[in-house]
Amino acid sequence: MRFRFVVPLLASLALLAACREQKVTSYRVPREQPEPLPPILTGEVPSPAAGMAAMAGTPVTTATGAGLTWSAPAAWTAKPASAMRKGSYAVTSEGGAEADLSITAFPGDVGGELANLNRWRGQIQLPPLAEADLPAVTTRLSVNGLEFVVVDFDNPQAEKPQRILGASAAYDGATWFFKLMGPEAVVAQAKPAFLDFLKTVRAPAPAAQP
């Protein structure tokens, strides 16, 4: 073989490639002010059942990039979106009671459909479901190319009765959650509007190519 040294040469280079490593460093700097933990984690504010929504001050990974768009009914009052929320509305009943509509998005499937629905159930003190229970409690809705899973959870026995009307859909590698949560009467009254609202949710049109 004419160039028999080439194989050992390449093998030694492969070993060299595997040897690139980073090292632990230690150094001394003047005292720096640490970033505070979110109050919800330090116990300075009580942890409400709202769960994730209560972590509004926590820097949590949310999905970024081009998002879904929607048209909310005029009767809903838009609240400022936060680092956590893509959209936020106050839904008020005729009697003045208020429910909260949150629109959030997180990368991946966030633990899967069952885990996500059980998280919502936990927020209104309902026991978790088993995988086999899913078909009975979910409604599938196909809207503008998006596949929504819609649920309606109610717990009248809870200390503070609450109802969750929720929908989730996968879009662009993230899961989008639309959750209306509040007193049973308010959510029941807003249900038709919520379902109509879901029909307005759509993915943005692809950008025009130059």
Partner 1 sequence: MNDTVRQFRDFFVSLKLTVVLLALSLVLVFAATLDQVNLGVWAVQEKYFRSIFVLWPVGDIPVPVFPGGYLIGGFLLVNLVAAHLYRFQFTWRKTGIQLAHFGLILLLVGELLTGLWQEDYQMRLTEGESKNYSESYRRNELAIIETTDPKIDDVVAIPEALLARGDAIQQPPLPFRVVVKAYYPNAVLQLRSGTPGAAPSPATQGVGPKLVAIPVPLTYKQDEQNWPVAFVELVGAEGPIGTWLVSAQLAASQTVAYAGRTWRIGLRAERAYKPFALTLLKTRHDVYLGTDIPKNFSSRVRLTTPDGREDREVLIYMNNPLRYAGLTFYQYQMDSEHATSVLQVVRNPSWLIPYVSCALISFGLLFQFALHLAGFVTKRRGRAQTA
- Residue 73 Cβ vs partner 1, minimum distance, rounded to whole Å: 27
CA distance 60 to 101: 19
CB 187 within 8 A of CB 99: yes
Whichever of 116 and 189 has its CB closer to partner 1, that residue is: 116
- Residue 168 Cβ vs partner 1, minimum distance, rounded to whole Å: 14
Binding-site ranges for partner 1 (CB under 8 A): 2-6, 13-14, 16-17, 21-32, 34-37, 40-42, 47, 49-52, 54-55, 58-61, 63-65, 106-111, 115, 118-119, 121-123, 128, 173
- Residue 17 Cβ vs partner 1, minimum distance, rounded to whole Å: 4
Residue recorded with tokens 């609240």: 79
Whichever of 95 and 111 has its CB closer to partner 1, that residue is: 111
Whichever of 119 and 202 has its CB closer to partner 1, that residue is: 119
CA distance 130 to 141: 21
CA distance 162 to 123: 9
Residue recorded with tokens 């979106």: 81
Residues 6+ apart with CB under 8 A from 160: 49
- Residue 117 Cβ vs partner 1, minimum distance, rounded to whole Å: 11
